[in-house]
Amino acid sequence: MAGSDGAIPPARPVIGQAEIDAAVRVLRSGMVVQGPEVAAFESEFGELVGGRHCVAVNSGTSALQLTLMALGFGPGDEVIVPSFSFAATANAVRLVGATPVFADIEADTFCLDPDAVAAAITPRTVAVMPVHLYGHPAAMDRLVPLAQAHGLAIVEDAAQAHGAALGDTPVGAFGVAGCFSFYPTKNMHSLEGGMISTADEGLARTLRLLRNQGMEQRYQNEIVGANMRMTDVSAAIGRVQLGQLAEWTQRRRDNAAHLDARLTGVRPPAVATGARHVYHQYTVRVPGDRAAAQAVLADRGVGSAVYYPTPIHRLRPFLAADRTVGEWKLPETDRAAGEVLSLPVYPGLTTAELDRIADAVNDAAVSA
Ligand SMILES: *Cc1c(COP(=O)(O)O)cnc(C)c1O
């Protein structure tokens, strides 16, 4: 048990007694894959996405890949994505053989800039994949009508944004589908896991077939499919965590408000009008020497992390696939990659720890 002066890690995944009990209960039951726990998890998660159909899979990346597959996207199709995201966003596009087209982000929210998306549309564009980065909803109020006007599908990458919303609409309820991740560091987890939300019953059925070898009835294969099933152990853990999500999200938001009020050396994260930010990350900009600032923080026992130091279009697998780095014009993406710093904001932080984080950041910003 860390004392009050122990180091504060950047993230602290929860695997408590309730999670362990749930896992043991499933293991003893013998029904361990795609069974009653998965069905219950899907139905309960639906409440978070306006009652949409939910399909559980084995990861957030699988959720994205399976959705693009179910929509029939492949070679020759372009999908507009942010480059300022985790590589999974663009990997999913490439895994189905389609081409990621990178659009720049807004400086304040770090999410896709609708003007940049509009400029990136070509006759080959089939979809836009906004990422609700750090738990802040992308500008869906502008992206949805833009996509509609051009006949494009919207697939939301909501891997970091369980419970975020814009206006009255939760993320995962804007696009043809929303994709969530339950990796241990996300706002809730199932060890590994993912969920797809959709209002389209036909799409939901196709997703269910595709995750299970193309079968609804065993050995009556209807289409070619993958194995992206969720285990019941994961679903049972996910259900425990889902039950905590509202309280944990409130804690994250309270922690963010506390940091907002205490920070003087850096500007607090922006929140767009009408946005409900769920603070998967609490991310500020350090325009000076970020590494030096991180060293000062580490010295004071405050963990910090950079999400993401290299934009996707500069990662090796994406170099020169279609355009050279110089041909991409993503100035806000490059600037963000050089400046962002994420501070601890997870639910388990104490007030004393939050004050320590703020004091250290205020001092570090001066020396950066
Ligand atoms: C975590 C994450 C994913 C992938 O989820 P996994 O469950 O790790 O496969 C996709 N997109 C974003 C933005 C993420 O943060």
- 205 and 232 belong to one structural domain: yes
Any catalytic annotation for residue 186? yes
- Collect all residues with Cβ–Cβ distance below 8 Å to 195 and sequence separation of at least 6: 41, 42, 45, 54, 55, 56, 57, 63, 179, 180, 182
Instruction: State the amino acid at position 187 in one-letter form.
Output: N
Nearest ligand 1 atom to the CA of 182 is: 7
Q: Which domain holds residue 343?
A: 245-367
Q: Is the pLDDT of residue 3 over 80?
A: no
Confidence check: pLDDT of 71 > 60 = yes
Which of 178-187, 196-205, 335-344, 359-368 has the lowest average pLDDT? Answer: 359-368
Tell me, what CATH number does 325's domain have? Answer: 3.90.1150.10
State residue 324's pLDDT score. Answer: 80
pLDDT computed for residue 322 by the predictor: 73
Mean pLDDT confidence for 331-353? 97
Average pLDDT over residues 154-161: 98
Q: Distance (Å, rounded) from C-alpha 99 to C-alpha 306?
A: 27
Over pLDDT 70: what percentage of the chain?
98
222 lies in the same domain as 269: no
Residue 91 resides in a domain: yes
User: What residue owns the CA closest to ligand 1's atom 5?
Assistant: 60
Q: Is 184 exposed, middle or buried (0-12, 13-18, 19+ CB in 10 A)?
A: middle
b/e per residue 258-276 (b: at least 16 CB within 10 A) = bbeeebebbeebebbeebb
Q: Nearest-CA neighbor of 313 among 303, 304, 322, 301?
A: 322
Same domain? 198 vs 220: yes
Distance CA 272, CA 261 (A): 18
pTM: 0.97
Q: Is residue 8 part of a domain?
A: no
CA-CA distance, 291 to 306, in Å (whole number)?
10
My answer on whether 180 and 272 are in the same domain is no
pLDDT digits (tens, 9 = 90+) for 80-114: 999 999 999 999 999 999 999 999 999 999 999 99
Same domain, 226 and 285: no
Q: Do 275 and 348 lie in a common domain? A: yes
Distance of CA 201 to the CA centre of its chain: 24
In the reported structure, the alpha carbon of residue 58 is separated from the centroid of ligand 1 by a whole-number distance in angstroms of: 12
Given pLDDT bands bounded at 50, 70 and 90, which one contains residue 5?
low
Q: How far is CA 192 from CA 90, 132, 175, 304, 312, in A?
A: 19, 20, 24, 23, 23
Q: Are 333 and 105 in contact (CB under 8 A)?
A: yes
CATH number for position 152: 3.40.640.10
CA dist., res. 303 & res. 185, Å (int): 14
Same domain for 69 and 113, yes or no, is yes
Strand, helix or coil for residue 270: coil
Residue 320: pLDDT above 90?
A: no
Question: Does the residue 199 lie in any domain?
Answer: yes
Which residue out of 85, 160, 196 has the highest number of ligand 1 atoms within 8 Å of its CB and is therefore the one to mutate? Answer: 160
The number of angstroms, rounded, from the C-alpha of 263 to the middle of its chain's C-alpha atoms is 26
Within 6 A (CB) of ligand 1 lie: 59-61, 85-86, 88-89, 131, 157, 159-160, 181, 183, 194
User: Alpha-carbon distance 88 to 85, whole Å?
Assistant: 8
Q: Tokens for 63, please give them.
A: 């959720």
List, for residues 21-39, the tens digit of each pLDDT value: 999 999 999 889 889 999 9
Catalytic residue among 186, 229, 280, 285: 186
For residue 368, pLDDT beyond 90: no
Same domain, 315 and 227: no
Reported as a single tens digit per residue, the pLDDT across 124-153 is 999 999 999 999 999 999 999 999 999 999
pLDDT for res 1: 38
- Between CA 46 and CA 152 the distance in angstroms is 24
In this structure, the answer to whether residues 234 and 299 fall within a common structural domain is: no
Task: With respect to residue 1, please indicate whether it lies within any of the assigned structural domains.
Answer: no
Both 75 and 55 in a single domain? Answer: yes
Q: Evaluate whether residue 24 is within a structural domain.
A: yes
Q: Which residues contact 149 (CB under 8 A, 6 or more apart)?
A: none
199 plus 157 within the same structural domain: yes
Total structural domains within the chain: 2
Domain boundary among 240, 269, 290: 240
Asked if residue 203 has pLDDT above 90, the reply is yes
Choose among 260, 244, 262, 277: nearest CA to 348: 244
CA-nearest residue for atom 6, ligand 1, is 60
Q: β-strands 53-57, 99-103: how paired?
A: unpaired
> What's the whole-number mean pLDDT along residues 319-336?
88
Structure letter (DSSP) for residue 330: -
In the predicted model, what is the mean pLDDT of residues 325-330?
A: 88
